[in-house]
Amino acid sequence: MSDAPAPDRACAPPKAPPPPPLEGNHSKVIRRAPGAFEWAGVALEAYKADSETWKGISRRELVGKRGETTKFHVRYFEIAPGGHSTLEKHEHEHVVIPLRGKGEAQAGCYAWTVGVGDVVYVSPSDPHQFRCPADAAEPFGFLCLVNAERDRPTPVDGLGVCRICE
């Protein structure tokens, strides 16, 4: 018998629990596919039901429609070269953060070229539209944050958009 201490037993590290489901009001990570602007378990959706006021745009609902109780929704929109969102207005605010490519943001009387890392704030009732130039090398993709409870948009015909600036 030896007076030497017993060797430490090698213990396996504890197993990590499985990731939580995307559905439900709990902490989670929604993983983006490497090299793509797609998220695991998040379906690609049509931008809107009608197709007369917009062209070449899709959306993905990232946060706000899977049981979360946030007071905001986070959506990812992607506009193909030559595409655009509806020219519209509503009472709720938008925050838009480009993640891919370059695009044009129109709000009220102003239009800007925007790209990755810029932040666009659209104030209540300002007519606005987002566009991807026809000659763009890639789509224009952006996160859009809006109130969870919001009014329905109203299309704007483009006439009088800048009336306040005249």
Active site residues: 144
Q: Could you give the CA distance from residue 63 to residue 26 in angstroms, rounded to a whole number?
A: 11
CA 49 to CA 117: how far, in whole Å?
30
What are the CA-CA distances from residue 126 to residues 53, 54, 91 (Å)? 17, 18, 8
Element (H, E) at 97: strand 94-100
H helices present in the chain, as ranges: none
Distances (CA, A) of 101 to 37, 114, 116: 12, 9, 7
CA distances from 122 to 1, 70, 96 (A): 80, 20, 8
Q: The tokens of 8 are what?
A: 């430490």
